Amino acid sequence: MEDSSFESLTQVLQEDILSRLPLKSLVKFILVSKKWASIFRGPRIRLCS
């Protein structure tokens, strides 16, 4: 069985997916996961309102 979890995706793909979410959802994800929070602190993510 293939691993279909978000964690199995490359970091670049994770960043691309998460960068497309609404700001309200992003805040929730940042609070849930330290890894996701670190993605948003990276240089490639620019949050737009």
Long-range contacts from 4-12, C-beta under 8 angstroms, 24+ separation: 11/39, 12/44
Contacts of 47 (CB under 8 A, 6+ apart): 23, 26, 40
- Nearest CA to 29 out of 45, 43, 4 is that of 45
Report if residue 17 sits inside a domain: yes
30 falls within a domain: yes
Domain of 25 in residue numbering reads as 12-40
Name the pTM for this structure. Answer: 0.54
pLDDT of res. 49: 43
Residue 35 within a domain = yes
Q: How far apart are CA 22 and CA 10, in angstroms?
A: 21
- What's the domain count of the chain? 1
pLDDT digits (tens, 9 = 90+) for 15-43: 888 788 898 888 888 888 887 777 777 66
Q: Is residue 6 part of a domain?
A: no
